Amino acid sequence: MKLAFSTLGVPGMPLPDVLRLASDHGFHGVELRAHPEEPVHPGLGRPERAQAAALFKEAGVELLAAAGYTRVAAPGPDEPVIDELRELVDLAHDLGAPYVRVFPGADAGQPDEDADAAAARRLGTAAEHAADLGVRILLETHDSHRTGAAALRVLGLVGHRHVGALWDVMHTWLGGEQPSETYAALGPYLGYVQVKDIASAEDTTPLTLGAGVLPVTECVEVLSRHGWDGWLCWEYEKRWYEGVRPLPQLLAAGHDHLLRLLSDSA
């Protein structure tokens, strides 16, 4: 498996500095948070996109994904959501990223059947554009569809190989799902896996890997047992918890922890 970290842990950091951190600490790739407050986002012009892609190539670091914030199951008309999806796919293609990350984002009280159908309809439409550009759209286990079983309801309706799943270990755990159950649901659709650690279900303040309660060890064991050889991406949510320790101070320990897990599960 290859290791990456998310720029959610280093909000606003210039791309050359992000790439230097990845290279210095042995990470193979980076997940870019594609938001207007970050250096790289869908509003970026083509020259700036080409420059960003060149920086990754020069650094020898892979760009794992453009992590967007499109809510594919949200109520309302389809076209604005589909337009957002296409913009994210274009960004990923221009940067050389294989994946785009999106959220379910159904509203509270929205019937599951309506949310699932809306998400599947929009993802299915955008999948054709993604296929043309060689990009895969990944639905993250998050918010209204936090378990593998919930995400599978949508993915099964889509039935397109350019739409898959991003397994966020925290959300499936908070949803009461065991790693073996999540993999059973999402294995055929799995793009990559986000790992992290927290103190408890009531306190989701990010901790360094191995210092909290999330079943990261079990997750890696399940993936290894099934011969899965994709990406593990450390998502340290510094952007939402400004008082926590800076990610650069933790990268070496986090990288070593993941290597130990991979070695132990081999």
pLDDT per residue as tens digits for the range 15-27:
999 999 999 999 9
* Cα–Cα distance measured from residue 30 to residue 131, given in angstroms and rounded to the nearest whole number: 22
Instruction: Answer yes or no: are the C-beta atoms of 235 and 208 closer than 8 Å.
Output: no
Consecutive 10-residue runs of the chain (266 residues): their mean pLDDT? 97 97 97 96 96 97 98 98 98 98 96 97 98 98 98 97 98 98 98 97 96 97 96 96 95 96 88
What's the pLDDT at 242?
A: 87
CATH class of the domain defined by 2-265: alpha beta
Q: How remote is the C-alpha of 206 from its chain's centroid?
A: 16
Per the listing, tokens 């309660």 go with 213
φ, ψ of residue 191 in degrees (nearest 5): -90, -60
Domain boundaries, the chain: 2-265
Task: Record the tokens describing residue 71, joined without a space.
Answer: 């809510």
Instruction: Answer yes or no: are the C-beta atoms of 135 and 99 closer than 8 Å.
Output: yes
Task: Record the tokens describing residue 55, joined without a space.
Answer: 């920086």
What's the pLDDT at 266?
A: 76
247-253, Cβ contacts within 8 angstroms, sequence gap of 24 or more = 247/5, 247/9, 247/10, 248/10, 248/21, 250/208, 251/5, 251/21, 251/25, 251/27, 252/25, 253/208, 253/209
What's the pLDDT at 166?
A: 98
What's the pLDDT at 67?
A: 98
Instruction: Answer yes or no: are the C-beta atoms of 137 and 84 closer than 8 Å.
Output: no
